[in-house]
Structures are given as C-alpha cells and as structure tokens.
Structure 1
C-alpha cells in the first residue's frame, strides 16, 4: 500500500510564482470577501478567478488547491484576533483575546464551518501561532506550572469555540426563519405541563454579549480560586 503523501504546509512552501498582476494576498482577500458575503461553499478557485478577472489556471501558480486557499483564508483572518496592547493582568488579557476571537468570528461566520468540518491538525499558520503566542504571553506573570496554563488556555478556547458555534447556528436559524417557526411549537409543548422545569426558562435566555462575558468570567473565576494560597 502506497504511503500517504506528505504535504508541506502552504506557508512553508517556496514561492515560485511568475511575475504577474496577481498576488497571493489579492487571491486570499477576494476569497474572504466571497465567503463573508455568500458563505464558504461559494469559494472556489474558479469563482475567485472570475472576481479577479483572471483565468482560473493562473491562480494555480500561487495556490495549488482549494484546501490551501482555505488554510490561507483562516490564517489571514487570524490577524484580527491579535490584541495591540495586551493588558498586564492575566484575566484582562485573556478576556481581551477571547473578545477579539469572538468578534473575528462574528465578522467571518464561515470560520465556524471550517472548524467544525475539517481537522485543524497541521493547519496552523503563522498568524494563528501569533494568536497562540499572545495567549501564552497573557499568562506570563502567573506563578503556575506550564501544564496548569495549558489547561486554562484549552478551557478558554473550548468555551469560546463552543459559544461561537452555537451563536452561528442561532443566527442562521433566525435568518432562515426557523426560530420564529419553532417558537409556537415549543410553547405548546411546554404549556402542556410535560416539561415543568423547562417552562420557566423558555424565552429567558440573556443577551449574547452578556452571556459570553458572564460565562467566561465564571470560568476564569474557577481558575483564579485554584491560584489562591
């Protein structure tokens, strides 16, 4: 059985493009614009070429396949998760980074689909690494071992990603009218008395921003208590 082909990450490959009016950055920017407007499924080499008024084959001089383009798009958007002036306090710094990541996801909801559809192993680009490096830098002043810091970063990342996924699905349901159509059905079920514990909570969900901030604060409160002597 032939060994699986080992692909060098797109960011590490030698740039062998010919001198043309196109550029990798222009291709990535066009692809992001398409995804922002129409979703990730609308992105293709042919579509990006059309928007750039170029031949599809000419884009392959810069990008070998669509998967590479998706990797470059995700890494480009990762620049939006960086914090210019990272607060000195570890909690404030961690909150600032989480807010940046959430705002980037709100601007580019197709990021959620990339995370949920495909494995991100081996797909970490330089800007993603900068975000990770800042996340570690946020905890630099803490007197805690690396394993503890890793657990905190993982917990915050899992919380932020999970929140973004749910938020994206709720926005899509609202956009398509599914939420509005479902509410009367749920109301009838709850009013029937079969769900007495769920009834008081129906329609009582707090606003998204408050919910995100509050949940993340609770999470950090738990880690802070572990640091107490």
Structure 2
C-alpha cells in the first residue's frame, strides 16, 4: 500500500496532518538540502514527538515521495496548450523553475516514477500532448527523451550553483582562476576542437542554453513523429 492509499490517523490530539508534515519537510530541504530532512527534524519543526509522524509516514523515502509530488503541483500547468510542442515546452520550463526554487528536487528527479496525484497529472499532461500523433510506444519514448534532457540539464545547472556557493567563485571567477591552466593545455595542440570552442564559441546564460537545447530535442521528436511507423 502506498502512502497515498494509507489513511491518516483519525482525531489527532493536536493539529497534524500530512500536508503540514510535507510543508515542514520542504522548508527544511529548501534551507539545507535533503541531508537536512529527517522525521526527527520535521517533528521538531512541528513541535511534535517523532513517533507521532510514523502514523502518517513510515519511512524517509515516503517523505521524499510526498515532497516531490507536492512540487509537481507547482509544475502542473493550469491549462493544457493545444500545440504538443508548447505543452512539453511549458512543462519543461516549469520543471526547471521549480528545481531552481527547490534545488533538492534535482537529486530526486529521474528515479522511480512518482505515483502521487500531482506527479501522475504531470505525466498525463505530457502523454496527452502527444496522444494520437503516433503509436503509444513512440509517444512514451518521446516523453522519455524530453525528460532525460530536462533532468540532465537541471542537474548540471544545480551542480554549478552548488559549486559556486561551496567555492565562493562565480562562473567568471572560476574561469579567470583556471585560465592560465587552460591556456597551457590548449597551447599543446592536443585539443583543437576544444580550442576552437573556447576561442570562438558564444557563452550563453543557463536559461538561454536550456531553451536552445530543448528546442533541438523537440525538433528531433517532431521528425520522429512525422515518420511512418516501422
């Protein structure tokens, strides 16, 4: 039985429910990451005894599942765009913005499918956007491909943000500090393609890079959808 199927304890002696527990857990994670979340710490945040939480949540993994589903409520669009590309694009951008608000989400994306109502609704929105455009297996592979791009880029962006905080160096500060080493390495002539990228490539901000890459992935999906079934 999943946590969503298990009823909450009736008539608690003081106000307590899963929604309060989830809200407290998300606040702790926003402040200190997933390592700051435990049933004991959540209980302390709510001025409740830790054992009381076990009536609502059995394990920390269940708590994480509930937290992820709660954030999926922020990702779910209010309206479903009629165009499939725009529908997937909206979900992707909303997912990225949710991960920037809740950086811990990057650590939990891409694991087991979320079975909560919000997570299922987001999955439904993505599948429904492509419904009727191809056979179901093609639709599922298309959604998986977009999701894989999205998760990879989000994790890289969050990792960079964490590195900046850990080192105290912005991206430009790090580039300046590592510049002499890179100059020496490129001067060896062993990395001609990388040298061209460093000298001639255009540096874009994370949001612009995300948008460009997403459009390329959607172009590839569009091409696949236009092909007759094998």
After TM superposition, give the deviation of residue 187 of structure 1 in Å: 3.9
TM-score (norm 1): 0.86
Partner of 1:215: 213
TM-score, normalisation: structure 2: 0.86
Which runs of 5 or more structure 2 residues have no equivalent in the other structure? none
Q: Distance in 2 between matches of 1:183 and 1:68?
A: 45
2:175 is equivalent to residue 193 of structure 1: no
Return 142-151 or 156-165, whichever deviates more: 142-151
Counterparts of 1:146 and 1:51 in 2: how far apart (Å)? 45
The 2-side partners of 1:143 and 1:112 are apart by 30
* Separation (CA, whole Å) in 2 of partners of 1:76 and 1:52: 18
Root-mean-square deviation (CA, aligned residues, Å) is 2.1
Instruction: Please give the secondary structure, in 2, of the residue aligned with 1:9.
Output: coil
Secondary structure of the 1:53 match is coil
Q: 1:95 to 1:10 in 2, by over 3 A?
A: same
SS at match of 1:10: coil
Q: Kindly state the Cα deviation for residue 145 of structure 1 after the two structures are TM-superposed.
A: 1.4
Render the CA deviation track for 1:15-45: whole Å, top value 9, x for unaligned. 2344231111011101001101111100011
Aligned length: 218
**Partners of 1:147 and 1:23 in 2: CA distance:** 40
Is 2:68 the partner of 1:77?
A: no
| Cross-structure match for 1:129 | 120
The whole-number CA distance in structure 1 between the counterparts of 2:7 and 2:54 is 14
- Unaligned regions of 5+ residues in structure 1, if any? 1-7
* Counterpart contact for 1:18–1:61, Cα < 8 Å: no
Deviations 1:114-155 (A, max 9, x none): 237xx415x522211010001112123x43211111111111
Q: Check whether the contact 2:22–2:66 (CA below 8 A) recurs between aligned residues.
A: yes
The answer as to whether partners of 1:17 and 1:62 remain within 8 angstroms in 2 is no
Deviation >6 Å, runs of 4+: none
Deviations 1:174-222 (A, max 9, x none): 2222662545433442244332221232374421111111111111112
- 1:59 and 1:227, CA in 2 relative to 1: closer, same or farther beyond 3 A? closer
